[in-house]
Amino acid sequence: MKFQLQTKRLGQAQFQRNFLSGLSCILLGTCFVLSVALFFKKERIIICPPELKNSYWVEGNQFSPSYIEEMSLFFAHLLLDVTESSIGWQGSVILRYVIPESYGAVKAKILDDEKRLKNEQLSLHFKATTFKLDASQLLAEITGDLISYVGSKKIAQVRETYQLKLQNRSGRLLIESFSLLKTEKSHETA
């Protein structure tokens, strides 16, 4: 009788051991699969600055179109909405967002613009009117009115279209080039 009881208990212990070993292997395999999947998952970061209207996301090498639009308008403002006293610090902010390959050309353009603004005592104000975005190419076209002032006197207003080419570098949106595409010469002098 004792022998049968021992055999029965031994059978139950072996079944319990086998069941727990199998369960442990399944859980270990699940942890391994989740760990491997974590390496290939791209994290989405949602950004909601307090002064802007939209929230943005950045996921791996992709940006939300609203983020590209907002950053393009910010860069255009820093480059085109300038005075002789503000172009220096606005230029230094822009240079933080320029890819290394274009740094020299952008810095030379900013220095030339600074010299021109000081010589002519100009202030420029840019009002964006239309915006076109090619999110896959990170290319933005900004059309707007560029108004020139000497003191408080408006001397000219032209409709200009600029192209801003951006690049993704390690999850950061950086400027590759900023160029004038088209000017509609509708000068207004006062």
* Torsion of the alpha carbons at 89, 90, 93 and 95, rounded to the nearest 10: -100
pLDDT in tens, 78-135: 999 999 889 989 999 999 999 999 999 999 999 999 999 899 889 999 999 999 999 8
DSSP string, 43-65: PEEEE--TTSS--EEEETTEE-H
Task: Using the CB atoms, write b or e for 161-179: b if 16+ within 10 Å.
Answer: bbebbbeeeeeebbbbbbe
More confident residue, 29 or 186: 29
H or E segment to which residue 27 belongs: helix 2-40
pLDDT bin (cut points 50, 70, 90) of residue 190 is very low
pLDDT in tens, 12-65: 999 999 999 999 999 999 999 988 888 887 777 766 555 566 677 777 778 888
Rounded Cα–Cα distance for residues 159 and 124 (Å): 13
What was the pLDDT predicted at 47?
64
What was the pLDDT predicted at 60?
72
Rounded Cα–Cα distance for residues 101 and 97 (Å): 12
What was the pLDDT predicted at 42?
74
pLDDT at 177 over 80: yes
**Sequence-ordered alpha helix ranges (H) in 41-173:** 65-80, 87-95, 103-120
What was the pLDDT predicted at 46?
66
What predicted TM-score, i.e. pTM, was given to this entire model?
0.70
